[in-house]
Each structure stands twice: as C-alpha cells, then as structure tokens.
Amino acid sequence: MRIVVPACVFTLLSLLSFAPAPAQDQCIGWATVGGAVTGGAGGEVVTVSTPAELTSNIAKEGKRVIRVQGKIAVQRISMSEVKDLTIEGAGRGAELEATFYIESAANVIIRNLIISAVNGGQMDIFSMEEGANHIWIDHCDISDKRNKLDGLVDMTHGCDNITISWNKFHYPDNTLDHRFAMLISHSDDAGGEDAGKERITIHHNWWADNITERMPRARFGKIHIFNNYYSAAGNNYCIGPGVDAEVVVESNYFENVNNPHIFFDSVSSAQIRIDDDNQYVNVTGRRDVGQGSVFAIPYSYRLDVGADVKRIVMAGAGPFGTPVSAERRNKFFIGSAPQYAPAFLRPGDFFTLHGAKRGGREKLAAIPMVIPAKKPVVQLRVNK
C-alpha cells in the first residue's frame, strides 16, 4: 500500500476500534456540526392519533419522541422555539396532512412520515425561519397533493446546520405553475441574516415527478449535495445557486432532466464544485461549474458510487425506505475540522482520502482496501 500525503499525515490504525458501520438513518452532514442532532432521544415516548394529541405534545417541554399513528390532518403545526423533539411515523402509512412552521427551533428530527398539506396559500410544507438550527428531515414522502402551496421546503432568515436526507419530493401533476421544491434564503438582500449561515446538507433524496425547479435554489449558504436522484422530467433546472451561494455537487444521478446545475441568473458570486462521478443520463442544458474554490467540508461522510445512486435512492428514499446492499458504498471523506475522525469501512471497500489545506480541499490519495470480514471497521487517525 502506497500513500502520498502532501498536506497532512493519515495513519491507518486497523484493529483498534470495532463497531457496527453507520446505519442508513444515522445523521450526517451540516446538522452534526457545532452540536448533536438527537431530537427527543432519551425522553418520553408517546403515540398520537388525533390533532389535539399531536399539538399538545409538541407544546410540551423536555425531551420527547412523538410517534404518529395513522393519518392526522392539522392546518398548521407551529414549532416556535421548540427543542429536543422527534416526530416520527409509528409504522408504514403514518401520515400528516399539515404545514410546519419551525421558528427559532433547535435539535429537531422529523422522519418516516408521509407529509402533504391540508390547504395552501403562501405556506410551504416546511417553513424553517428565524435561526432554526440543527434540524434533520429524514425518510419522508413530501408532496403538495392539492397543488396549493408555495413550496415544499424553505429554509430562510438565518437557518443553519440542517440535513435533508432520504426523502422523496414530488407533485401530483403538472397543472400548477409554482412547483418549486426547495428554497434556501429568500432574497438577494438577505445577506445580513443569512451570510455565514444556511449551511445545509442534502443527500440521498429523490427529486421526482412534476417538480419544475428549486432542487434546491440557494443564496448565501454553503450547500453540500450528494447522492441524490433527479428524475423530474420537464423541469426548468435542478440546482440553482445564486448570490454568494457555494455548492458542492457530488455523485448524483441526473436522468431525463434539464439544466442539472446552473448559476441562477448567471450570478458571478455563485460557486459550484463537482466531482467526476455525477451521472448525466439523457439530460439537456447547462452544467455550470467553477467561479471560486468553494468551502471545505468540515465533517466525515460516505459516498455511494454515482452509477448506483438511482437504485439505492429509489429503494431507500421515503418512509421506512428499504436499505440496499452497501457493498459499493465505497468512498469515504475526512473533513477538515476533526483532528481524529473515525472511518467505518466494510469488506472490500475502496475509499478516497481528502484533506484540507489553506481552506481548500485537496485529493491526497486513493487506496484500495481489503478489510477482513471479521474485522469490518477500521479507524483512521488524522494527524494534522
């Protein structure tokens, strides 16, 4: 094994630490930076089946896990200054017809739910505002079934440290013009509240039927987009960074879509970095890249091979998605922040080490590994 490490030294410490490999539902990304996302873990667990039970338990204080049974319809779920909360489906078929207003909230998990809306107006299914932080939306089916909403997920007004993972986004048909899925920062003039924030990870989502654009549309933030499947045929564009937005686009699968990634309105302060593993199948239009060095990713994460993303995401996205074979989950990246980063490797994994130097990320080495079946975890120690 030969390692060329010009920027920092990586020491392989095999047989040091053994533990289960990260589960599909383990939170990774920006939501884990600067604090943990545990939701209501360790607190009271309650199952609810009526609107009154749902809203009263959300209003409580302390750690709590709310499990939704069956279908509950609520006009609007207000989560102002809520913290340490998990809302999750109690089983397959758990559904909320609701819109969520998540304001100044922290450490919130919403997962394993079918989510649509009772009615609309200018509301979104998820409106995260006023500094909401450390939020994780995971394994949900999110749609505007009645074509009445403004959008599906908006993160504006100083939101930060958010992970959006393993969700399916879609619209029922193409009769509504405003089929815009996800907005990050609401205005070109919002730098006063959004600059230095809006740090969001978007991974393993399925951008599906009848979405026109905003997958996502972003301003000001540092957005990491990896291992997503884009199949929204007839769209305008997929990923559209605008004013001062920095976007890293890695190992995604774009199929039958237009304009996979563009500088929105040709804004010169937007930045896009891509890897060499994004898949473009029967796509048209622009694939803009460049205009800056983009941010260094500060956390550890694994990449699925781009060619496998369609299969993996179609099987795994949405409530209680079916995990697929992980044998080709085979790239591991060590972010620049932790001095000691654990890397969980499976038998036969191939992984690529990345290290940070002067604020940028450089590819250091590509090392084929053969991990013994009885010792499936290897810990990498990063000596900076």
- Cα within 13 Å of Cα(264), Cβ side: 24
Q: How far apart are CA 26 and CA 214, in angstroms?
A: 26
Contact 220, 199 (CB under 8 A): no
User: For the purposes of burial, counting CB atoms within 10 Å of the CB of 11, is it exposed (0-12), middle (13-18) or buried (19 or more)?
Assistant: exposed
- Cα within 13 Å of Cα(294), Cβ side: 23
User: For the purposes of burial, counting CB atoms within 10 Å of the CB of 291, is it exposed (0-12), middle (13-18) or buried (19 or more)?
Assistant: middle
Active-site hit among 67, 214, 217, 329: 214
Q: For residue 103, what are the contacts with CB-CB under 8 A and spacing of at least 6?
A: 78, 79, 80, 81, 128, 129, 130, 132
Region of 86 please: left (phi>0), alpha (psi -120 to 50) or beta.
Answer: beta
Q: How far apart are CA 61 and CA 83, in angstroms?
A: 8
Closest residue by Cα to residue 281 from 324, 328, 230: 230
Q: In the chain, what's the furthest Cα-to-Cα distance?
A: 62
User: For the purposes of burial, counting CB atoms within 10 Å of the CB of 84, is it exposed (0-12), middle (13-18) or buried (19 or more)?
Assistant: buried
User: Is 214 considered catalytic here?
Assistant: yes
Q: How far apart are CA 272 and CA 294, in angstroms?
A: 7
DSSP secondary structure string for all residues of 171-209:
-S-S--S--B-EEESS-TTTHHHHTT--EEEEES-EE-T
Cβ–Cβ contacts within 10 Å for residue 107, how many? 23
Q: How far apart are CA 309 and CA 202, in angstroms?
A: 14
Three-state SS at 35: coil
Q: Active-site residue numbers?
A: 214
